[in-house]
Amino acid sequence: MFSKYINNFTFKKQFGNNLITLDKSLTLGIQNIFNYHY
C-alpha cells in the first residue's frame, strides 16, 4: 500500500510536469502565431 502511494505520487508529479511543459509550449506557440500575424 505504501509503495502504491509512492508510485501514485511519482506519477502525479510527472504528470504535473508534463502539463506545465505542455502549457509553456502552447503559450509560446500562441505568442509566435500572434507575433507572426500582427
Rounded Cα distance between 18 and 34, Å, is 24
Model confidence, pTM: 0.52
Rounded Cα distance between 9 and 23, Å, is 21
Q: What is the pLDDT of residues 14-27, one digit of tens each?
A: 888 888 888 899 89
Residue 38 grid cell: 500582427
Residues in the chain: 38
pLDDT band at 1 (very low <50, low <70, confident <90, very high): low
